Structure 1
């Protein structure tokens, strides 16, 4: 087909992403019955069509972004940074509830009626911005003082604006920033100081939230309850979601109960998003669960290959910066389902239902493919330079 001639970049990444997206229809269709028959929200076919539309737009994002030359992302990150900061401020200030739920994570897109989680866009933009800065200072010695304004000011602003509404996303983003800075050669002694500042900032926020609970209603209490339920297995009231997820996983056995035959999807909250991995294991067993993990590990391997093959420092850091969080988020989602990690509210990339998480994952994948496409073009140029007859035939 003609469209495939325009698809460039790492073919394995394309294949893994396509397989994950195709597989996602089965668990999303199955788990959406919870929203229909328990919550009373829409129809199963309606949720499936919505998921298909979101994935279709997501692959459009991948295709469009992967055609952008990699070095363009340097300038785009500088332009996008003040935009995402403004969006985060607006999101945090817009109110406390939408339909009974905490609204300080989302804004509603007026034309399509879809909620947009601004923190996911901010995370991708921030990682690109940091990759640009680290590549800029790679060949010279940097002092902590001169890196405060261009590097750490945007980091702490983004994290502080995400933190009141979404602690897990803020914590994961901060950790990924530290990993990228470490890989980018930023002095370890400075990173240690940044960790201390971050811990101090978190403590200050908790104290302020406790002293003035009206500023951030229920957020700190929610974090504490999740941590307490994680460390206290006997607290089944607070640990309801984890208990149901563990029952789902245990009933799946080796080969599972079969597609669409999950029982716990009717009792497990967020069965189509945060806890979809438990439903997958229940229906497809340990074989299905480990197979899914294998594809995420394959994606991680190809991300490392693309980063290693890239000739520019910016390209290497860019691929790691936007690619590694995808796999890290997937592992956290799986770890939560098997109670290796406290409940975080992180979705399973490309599998869980939801708009923003799918689109921002696709944006990150498109950036990785752009970097791999650049490497392919460089290899083609090397071949042409080594074969004068091919150059001549191409000119004729």
Structure 2
């Protein structure tokens, strides 16, 4: 047995390094930023140990998935896609509300089905693109099947969590572009969604608030409208801005007071004023405490993850693991960029956590699953000398055939 086969953490070393660095930053900054949680619980170590528990479990989850040959991931859509649709439907009607949206489901444990659904959709899209590749590009039926699956999931998510649906749709769109889906189909899709967005903007502008509240799927539109309006409107009254837009204002103060070099971890002043300092605005706390170095470090870690995923994808003999790796990396990096843009005040508040850094249970564990799957692909990509016929076990083949048995209907 050689040394590499005895390594506990196999797969791409760079991705493992990125993973553990993000975990370390998470522990430091959650411990520092969770002062509001500390005040509520009366135990200043409770948020730290809870995050440590989730990251510890997440590391185990990542290791477990990285040990599974990536060809077995083809089985995931067959079982989990119907399950996710059911869970999203239940959440839509019976989910618990947080920040005005019913995003959580309590089945003994409290979790977000949308987090699970995102990954399942990415695996499904990767499977479809790989199965329907032709010499000239993806089969035109691939677009219809992908749009059906993504459309159903995004429709169930969008009314309660617009930003998550937008991130998922954007990721799938880029995957279709990479997968050589005909540009004519992608162009029509862009035009269609531009028309839909214009229609809803006009609808919100014309309809009175009472009418919007009475229409179930429009009840979150006023929230979206107010966030965009408050972000785009300028005010010369600093006191009024601080009162009406406390989160954005204190995030700006945190960044401005970093003085380039930062105040060092544990010395944040604005964490006591930001109710989501440990989640949505943790990047602002990172900048306040670690300065420009911390800001660039976090940014570069996600960029490195994306480029490393691209390199791994280019080394894959088969298209499914290549599409899967790029899809998961894009999903994480786009979400990270959205969080960072919100924290620095460039876009309206979305409620998206910073992957693997923000405090969280469901998001942390699911993100670790994504890392584990990418690491599994990196292990597969190193074994280019394995004969092609060994790539698909009978179980994965039968699952793939079952998943595509109705493709003619798409």
TM-score under structure 2 length normalisation: 0.85
Q: How many residues align?
A: 374
Unmatched runs of 5 consecutive residues or more in structure 2: 389-410
Counterparts of 1:116 and 1:96, CA distance in 2: 10
* 1:158 corresponds to: 153
Counterparts of 1:50 and 1:265, CA distance in 2: 18
Cα distance, 1:374 vs structure 2? 0.5
Counterparts of 1:187 and 1:251, CA distance in 2: 49
What are the Cα deviations for residues 248-273 of structure 1, in whole angstroms up to 9, with x where unaligned? 00101121112111000011120000
Matches within 5 A, 1:1-396: 5-37=7-39, 40-41=40-41, 43-95=43-95, 97=97, 101-102=99-100, 104-110=102-108, 113=109, 115-139=110-134, 144=140, 146-147=141-142, 150-201=145-196, 207=203, 211-214=211-214, 215-216=216-217, 218-234=219-235, 236=241, 237-378=243-384
RMSD: 2.5
Give the secondary structure class of the aligned counterpart of 1:274.
coil
Cα distance, 1:73 vs structure 2? 1.3
Give the secondary structure class of the aligned counterpart of 2:65.
helix
Judged with a 3 Å threshold, the aligned counterparts in structure 2 of structure 1 residues 140 and 75 are, in CA distance, closer, same or farther, namely farther
Q: Is the 8 A contact 2:253 2:270 kept in 1?
A: yes
Judged with a 3 Å threshold, the aligned counterparts in structure 2 of structure 1 residues 80 and 170 are, in CA distance, closer, same or farther, namely same
Q: Is the 8 A contact 1:69 1:374 kept in 2?
A: yes
Counterparts of 1:96 and 1:368, CA distance in 2: 32
What are the Cα deviations for residues 86-145 of structure 1, in whole angstroms up to 9, with x where unaligned? 1110111105636xx5461111240xx4x211111111110110011011111166665x
Counterparts of 1:2 and 1:177, CA distance in 2: 35
Counterparts of 1:248 and 1:4, CA distance in 2: 46
Cα distance, 1:223 vs structure 2? 0.4
Q: Is the 8 A contact 2:143 2:185 kept in 1?
A: no
Judged with a 3 Å threshold, the aligned counterparts in structure 2 of structure 1 residues 3 and 15 are, in CA distance, closer, same or farther, namely farther
Q: Is the 8 A contact 1:333 1:347 kept in 2?
A: yes
Counterparts of 2:198 and 2:83, CA distance in 1: 28
Q: Is the 8 A contact 1:131 1:317 kept in 2?
A: yes
Judged with a 3 Å threshold, the aligned counterparts in structure 2 of structure 1 residues 311 and 167 are, in CA distance, closer, same or farther, namely same
What are the Cα deviations for residues 218-269 of structure 1, in whole angstroms up to 9, with x where unaligned? 4111100110111113272543211110100010112111211100001112
Cα distance, 1:154 vs structure 2? 1.1
Counterparts of 1:107 and 1:96, CA distance in 2: 6
Counterparts of 1:171 and 1:192, CA distance in 2: 17
Q: Is the 8 A contact 2:111 2:361 kept in 1?
A: yes
